[in-house]
Amino acid sequence: MMVKLLSVILLAVCLNNTLHAAQSVVVRFADTLVARTWMAQGRKGPVSQLTSLIGAHTTRPYVSDAVIRAVHKHMGYSLQVEQLLSTHTVPEAIRRLPLLCVIDYKDPVPPHILAGKLHNHTYFDFIEPLPQYQLADLPSDPYVAEQYYLPLIRAFQAWDSLPPSAAPVIVGIVDTGVDTAHVDLKGSIARNTGETGTDETGRDKRFNGKDDDGNGFVDDWFGWDFVGADGASPDNTPLPGNSHGTHVAGIVAAQVNNSIGIAGVAKNVTVLPIKVGRDSPFSRNVENTAEALLYAAAAGCNIINCSFGSASASFADADIVQAVTAMGALIVAAAGNDGTDQAFYPAAHPEVLSVAATDSSDRRAYFSNTHRSVDVAAPGVHIFSTMPNNTFDYQDGTSMASPVAAGVAALALSAHPALKPAQLHSLLKANTINIDKLNPGFEGKLGAGRIDALNAVRFANSRYAEVVKTVIVNANGSDLIEPLDTVHLHVAVTAPLDTLKSVRVEVVPDSSQFVSTVSVTTAVAGLIASGDTVTINDPFVISLPKQLPVNGKLQVVIRVYDGNDIVGTAIASATVNPSYRTINGNNLKLTVTNTGTLGFNDYSENVQGVGFCWNNQPTLLFEMALMIGVSPTYLPNAARGADTRYRDYSFIGTSPVTVTTNSDSATLKAETTFSDDNDRYNLGLNINHTVIQNTSDSLRDCAIITYTITNTSDTVLRNVYAASFMDWDLGTNGEDDGVAWDQQRGMAIVQNTTDPELPTVCVAMASDLPVNFTAIDNAGTNAVPGIYDNFLRSEKWLFMSSGKFRTNSSVTDISMTLGGGPFTLQPNESQQIVYVIGVGSALRLASEATESGRNYAAELGLNAKRYVAENESDRIDYVINGPFVSAANPVNVAFSLLAPSSTRIEVYDLLGNLLKISPETEILPAGSHHTQISIPDTASGTCFIVLRTVRGITACPVQVLH
């Protein structure tokens, strides 16, 4: 037998970036006609009501009928899938499984954008990108000396303490497959007795091609492969792929005292392989984990190990976890290997036992995540276990710590088979070894302590308290918590194990946060019977200091005592002094931030804020962000970026958002400041940002928005442009919208083309500066880039600095940029940009509201002017034979001049690089003109022909062919 002694680290998600499937979202349908329609058509195919929201699409169940049948069989139900919705005797977590749906769509909109746009729609309880996970990565057995973790967790003593009546336990290994023929594992593989033996015709049930046990899976005699070679070829052979699953299985259940290899943590246990990784040994992604978890529980697994995950929480997987728990299985999962203080899923779901990794000295493994969501720690460094082809190896990771804890859970359940998942979860925490003193700086973030098998089997500590609810509210009723406020903490406590006879709850400030004062620190709960929950009648009272960090975290430690013994701890936290405020000074309700965005503070989730709402209707705005630049590189901004899952964070708040009203309460003003110091290529800017609302009849449907930009550097800033990027969504999901520049009114007009009941939005840049405007099709066109794939700084610069670059969008999901420039800023000089946004039930009303706001801004002394309609500016009328032009021949350009001017034609590529420049002409008269310019051979794809006159520039996109 070959033994490999390679030191390998198989890390879990080494991602701070969350993985999602492209062009797919998962939803839970609300119980509406749409859900019933989908159910009636077999939970598949397009749904007519969704076409107007999402376009061409198809659907499929997140949990297949086969898995739901397996769940029913396990729970003893004889219901059809469609009957679940109205059968209230079924636990809710299981009843709603059929409502989970995957929508695969055609449009190029990224899943996180689509989910953000539709998250409040009445068809759905939730909508989110379809998540993808990656791997988290002295008996007679001859290599047991390599297993330091067995004596550390006192596994040998635990084995000796198992009662003769110890019950068999099945541990599901949801992973990359298991080498079931391994000499040290083959005796520990669980078998499905319903698919073994012979059938009525004498055929071997393992291979007869029939679903002998009626659980929805044919010949699943030793587990199931939910993925196969290509991700879509499930079969009944859960053999590895990646070696990860075999290593994990050996940690739990390598055979003990067989004179071969190693010893698993658990005796009296078998493992059921459920494969969710592809057949390639190099594949690290796992798929179909939701169905795998449900299958494992339906197959009788008492414990399910998940050595994989993601930093992204999923509502859909929260449903799955709750259903699996209701079926009687405890999920044990890796806390992640990013080495950061962050939650990791599925481990961080409250029903799951989350496991961090420690070393042989009980010190935190350098790679292990630490977080208040961690429940326990377990050895995860230099773990020796089984590998495919009868080999053994060392690996590190919370992937290894999780099965150590799962093995201890199996031992405890074997000794105490009546325990429910929640009780087992508590027992394991109640019987740990506290290691906080060995891990300064990580106190409370490695869970209750390091797992201990002997304590768990002996049930050494049967007293434990779970804090099941913490709610922090402002005593004054406000949604925001600000300096000097008093807040109330409400707490509920349960006794999952033995009765607690003399319970008191104590709350103290967390020393790692800013100092708060807890004036009501202790409450007496008295006796809490086993299984009961008690809500503390009076709240704990917490007073906040005058100085609070922006977006600070109020965090307090909750300790539960039974007599003089601590029997449980928890953390309660809330965000204080947030960097955003929601104002509602007239018919418009909007959120102001101090980081350069308006509407929402947390692109693209869009839950921090209300957006931009009119007359209490849903938000009309998905994203609004300030952009200021002098070039494609030096362009601090707050808009979505090169990876559209994230925005650029150039601006950092220098003061909180304050809200004031004037003496007659007619005018409300929100004000804040921020700088561009957070940008690597900052310009040394400080920005004062205000939003003004007025309740008078002519102003109640508009908002005045100002940005006063000050150059705090010692350098003269020339060629400065400022613009706002706005993604409007008047209709659901923003489809069928359009935006255009109205030269006569001097404003952009946003309307929906299919629903006349939807409002019209008008946006004006009211300052005395040249106007720059671009109408954007979010999906892009052949000539103009879109913003679904990315929003590069070169594209931002093009849109904000090219005059009226594109005056009309298509009818689609649209955005726009509107701003002013160029202008120059001397050191300590300021330039104010004023916007007015008006909304109305018709174009006339929206434009009148906007015009009234523009005039009112001028009356207030802002840098705004009353608008006087002007003729169109100098422009390129067309490119002959465009937009497709050849680099082999000169390009003929037709253009018009508003007044006499010299001219110059320039050619730029998509990144803003100058490719060609024509000689400047003498002064040409007003009127129409033609000229030629050659496109260099180096040009390809989208380029821009620019007309430069004394009054500015205008551009025309072309596609260069070779």
Q: Which helix (H) or strand (E) holds 70?
A: helix 65-75
Euclidean distance between the first and the last CA atom of the chain, given in angstroms as a whole number: 63
- In this predicted structure, the answer to whether residue 515 has a pLDDT above a threshold of 90 is no
- In this predicted structure, the answer to whether residue 18 has a pLDDT above a threshold of 80 is no
The hierarchical CATH code for the domain 138-176+221-232+247-283+295-458 is 3.40.50.200
Distance CA 98, CA 85 (A): 8
pLDDT single digits (tens) 651-669: 999 998 999 998 777 899 9
Tokens found for residue 339: 């080495």
**Residue 909: per-residue pLDDT:** 85
8 Å CB contact between 657 and 579: yes
Average pLDDT of the chain?
Answer: 91
Give ranges for CATH 2.70.98.10 in the chain. 580-859
8 Å CB contact between 638 and 625: yes
Distance CA 729, CA 600 (A): 14
Tokens found for residue 626: 């300030």
Tokens found for residue 664: 């007659």
Phi, psi of 410 (to 5 degrees): -65, -40
8 Å CB contact between 740 and 749: yes
Distance CA 390, CA 405 (A): 24
Query: Average pLDDT, stretch 760-789?
Result: 93
Least confidently predicted of 2-6, 455-459, 846-850, 948-952: 2-6
- Whole-angstrom CA distances from 211 to 203, 208, 271, 709, 803 are 13, 9, 21, 71, 68
- What radius of gyration do the chain's Cα atoms show? 32
**Residue 19: per-residue pLDDT:** 56
Least confidently predicted of 493-497, 844-848, 931-935: 931-935
**Residue 87: per-residue pLDDT:** 67
**Residue 836: per-residue pLDDT:** 99
Kindly state the DSSP code that residue 86 receives in the 8-state scheme: G
Cα 734 → chain centroid = 21
**Half-sphere exposure of 218 toward its Cβ, with a 13 Å CA cutoff?**
6
Alpha helices in 566-687 (DSSP H): none
Tokens found for residue 647: 């925005």
Least confidently predicted of 76-80, 417-421, 756-760: 76-80
The confidence band for 931, taking pLDDT boundaries of 50, 70 and 90, is: very high
Amino acid identity at 1: M
Greater confidence (510 vs 130) lies with 130
- In this predicted structure, the answer to whether residue 558 has a pLDDT above a threshold of 50 is yes
pLDDT single digits (tens) 681-698: 999 999 999 999 999 999
Distance CA 370, CA 442 (A): 7
Domain 580-859 has CATH 3.40.50.1820: no
Report helix, strand or coil for 780: coil
The confidence band for 60, taking pLDDT boundaries of 50, 70 and 90, is: very high
Q: Which helix (H) or strand (E) holds 402?
A: helix 398-415
Q: Is 52 one of the catalytic residues?
A: no
Distance CA 883, CA 928 (A): 20
**Cα angle for residues 479, 699, 666 (degrees, 5° grid):** 55
8 Å CB contact between 703 and 693: yes
Report helix, strand or coil for 400: helix
Q: Is 650 one of the catalytic residues?
A: no
Beta strands 875-879; 891-897: pairing state: antiparallel
Distance CA 519, CA 524 (A): 15
Distance CA 104, CA 133 (A): 18
Tokens found for residue 845: 């009303």
Selection from 147, 151, 154, 160 nearest residue 452 by Cα = 154
Query: Average pLDDT, stretch 738-744?
Result: 90
**Residue 120: per-residue pLDDT:** 87
Strand order of the β-sheet with 7-9 is 7-9, 391-396, 383-387
**Residue 638: per-residue pLDDT:** 98
| Candidate list 107, 175, 179, 359, residue with the active-site label | 175
Query: Average pLDDT, stretch 569-590?
Result: 93
Tokens found for residue 277: 């990784």
pLDDT single digits (tens) 246-298: 999 999 999 998 999 999 999 989 999 999 999 988 888 899 999 999 999 99
Tokens found for residue 284: 């690290």
pLDDT single digits (tens) 121-180: 999 999 999 988 877 765 556 788 899 999 999 999 999 999 988 999 999 999 999 999
Least confidently predicted of 67-81, 665-679, 720-734, 920-934: 67-81
| Candidate list 24, 283, 310, 399, residue with the active-site label | 399
Phi, psi of 843 (to 5 degrees): -60, -45
| Candidate list 72, 74, 182, 244, residue with the active-site label | 244
Amino acid identity at 549: P
> Would you tell me the crossing angle of helices 289-298 and 65-75 to the nearest 10 degrees?
30
What homologous superfamily does CATH list for 466-576? Immunoglobulins (2.60.40.10)
**Residue 16: per-residue pLDDT:** 37
pLDDT single digits (tens) 707-734: 999 999 999 999 999 999 999 999 877 8
8 Å CB contact between 643 and 789: no
Amino acid identity at 751: Q
User: What percent of the chain shows pLDDT beyond 70?
Assistant: 95
Beta strands 717-728; 814-825: pairing state: antiparallel
Phi, psi of 760 (to 5 degrees): -105, 140
Could you count the other beta carbons within 10 Å of the beta carbon of residue 59? 22
Tokens found for residue 109: 């909109």
pLDDT single digits (tens) 377-414: 999 999 999 999 999 999 999 999 999 999 999 999 99
Secondary-structure breakdown of the chain: helix, strand, coil percentages, each rounded to the nearest 5 = 15, 35, 45
CATH class held by domain 875-961: mainly beta
Q: Is 244 one of the catalytic residues?
A: yes
8 Å CB contact between 798 and 883: no
8 Å CB contact between 383 and 404: yes
Selection from 609, 625, 806, 840 nearest residue 730 by Cα = 840
> Would you tell me the crossing angle of helices 421-430 and 398-415 to the nearest 10 degrees?
110
Query: Average pLDDT, stretch 347-369?
Result: 97
Q: Using the CB atoms, write b or e for 31-46: b if 16+ within 10 Å.
A: eeebbeebbeeebeeb
- In this predicted structure, the answer to whether residue 11 has a pLDDT above a threshold of 60 is no
Beta strands 814-825; 771-777: pairing state: antiparallel
Distance CA 895, CA 803 (A): 15
Cα 296 → chain centroid = 27
Kindly state the DSSP code that residue 438 receives in the 8-state scheme: G
The confidence band for 1, taking pLDDT boundaries of 50, 70 and 90, is: very low
Kindly state the DSSP code that residue 924 receives in the 8-state scheme: B
pLDDT single digits (tens) 315-327: 999 999 999 999 9
Distance CA 380, CA 402 (A): 8
**Residue 513: per-residue pLDDT:** 65
8 Å CB contact between 549 and 514: yes
Give the sign of the dihedral formed by CA 389, CA 392, CA 397, CA 400: positive
Least confidently predicted of 211-220, 532-541, 947-956: 947-956
- In this predicted structure, the answer to whether residue 12 has a pLDDT above a threshold of 50 is no
Selection from 687, 623, 621, 618 nearest residue 650 by Cα = 687
Selection from 335, 324, 322 nearest residue 302 by Cα = 324
The confidence band for 14, taking pLDDT boundaries of 50, 70 and 90, is: very low
CA torsion angle 395 398 403 408 (round to 10): 120
8 Å CB contact between 307 and 403: yes
Distance CA 382, CA 343 (A): 24
